[in-house]
Amino acid sequence: MELGLRGKSVIVTGAASNIGRAIALAFAREGAQVAVADIDREGGERTAWQAESLGAQRAAFVACDVTEREQVAEMMEEVVRRFGRIDVLVNNVGWDRLRLFLEEPWEEMERKVRLNLWSVLICSRIVLPRLVEQRSGAVVNIASDAGRMGEFREAVYSACKGGVIALTKALARECGRYGVRVNCVCPGTTMPASPEDAGAYSMWRAGEELASWTTEEMKERIARAYPLRRLGTAEEVANAVVFLASDAASFITGQTLSVSGGYTMI
């Protein structure tokens, strides 16, 4: 299938590790120009190097805290300066820590909102005007099945991801008349393939609560909740993102696609 992504300019936020890295590398294999936007310089530069080696027309790491408007605006201008335009935005940044809602510290709640929802609002608000002006482009937001069903010990995370899903639909309605498509992908539990893929700021890194899930025993327990009886990979999520951003999905907008082995069937 011809995806029509060769030479397209793509921004992937949170691309220094795990799902974000896999997304950036999947676009690279299609010959796109890939901007790796992250606060993790070491991981981001590694992703950019890998992207170039896999066939990206060009790849660059752009340091950016996506919860800060000024930094996002600067990042967008840097991408335009390097690549000439922006064709695709992938809002991938996300973070969670498992807590009962009534026991969650306020600071942690605020951090979840900023990383999981506010960052998507900021990046979309800053990049979309450029896509609207050129009357073409695609946005793919990474949400979660937690946002479709609500998850135990993930109330704030679920609320944020539910907000991303609703935002996706609203923006698709607003921007469709300008030739801009907006879709959403909801991964299931997707663990880094190796410790190196966890990233310096990842919720999967050593010391974080979710890092304890990476044992084989825990993986087997989690897999039993999925009809396909296994966990998904970052590459499987990336395949869905690349398709939705491509010309092959030119008549698809406002949709939410779960890549979760059947965990939700909504």
Tell me the pLDDT tens digit for each residue of 170-201. 999 999 999 999 999 999 988 777 666 666 66
Q: Amino acid letter at 81?
A: R
Contacting residues for 261 by C-beta, under 8 A, at least 6 apart: 188, 226, 227, 228, 229, 230, 231, 232
What's the pLDDT at 260?
93
Domains in the chain, start-ordered, CATH in brackets? 9-259 (3.40.50.720)
Q: Is the pLDDT of residue 213 over 70?
A: no
% of the chain residues with pLDDT over 70: 92
Q: Is the pLDDT of residue 164 over 90?
A: yes
Tokens encoding 49 = 């190097």
Q: What are the residue ranges of helices labelled H in 145-233?
A: 146-149, 155-175, 216-223
What's the pLDDT at 197?
66
Catalytic sites, residue numbers: 157
43-93: pLDDT as tens digits: 999 999 999 999 999 999 999 999 999 999 999 999 999 999 999 999 999
Q: Amino acid letter at 196?
A: E
Please give the Cα distance from 212 to 189 (Å, whole number).
Answer: 13
What's the pLDDT at 210?
63
What's the pLDDT at 206?
53
197 vs 152 pLDDT, higher one: 152
| Element at 106 (helix H, strand E) | helix 106-113
Tokens encoding 209 = 């609560």
The alpha carbons of the chain give a radius of gyration, in whole angstroms, of 17
| Residues of the chain by 3-state class (helix, strand, coil), percent to 5 | 50, 15, 35
What's the pLDDT at 211?
62
Residue among 168, 85, 175, 174 nearest 135 (CA): 175
Q: Is the pLDDT of residue 12 over 80?
A: yes
Beta strands, E only, 176-266: 180-187, 256-259
If you average pLDDT over every residue of the chain, what do you get? 93
What number is the average pLDDT over the span 27-38? 98
- Per the listing, tokens 């590459």 go with 235
Determine the longest span between alpha carbons in the chain, in angstroms.
51
| pTM of the predicted model as reported, rounded to 2 decimal places | 0.94
What are the CA-CA distances from residue 152 to residues 101, 146, 158, 159 (Å)?
9, 9, 9, 12
What number is the average pLDDT over the span 107-129? 98
What number is the average pLDDT over the span 159-173? 98
Q: What are the residue ranges of helices labelled H in the chain?
A: 18-29, 41-53, 69-83, 106-113, 119-134, 146-149, 155-175, 216-223, 234-245
CA atoms within 13 A on the CB side of 1: 9
Q: Is the pLDDT of residue 94 over 80?
A: yes
The answer to whether residues 143 and 168 touch, using CB atoms and an 8 Å cutoff, is: yes
What's the pLDDT at 194?
67
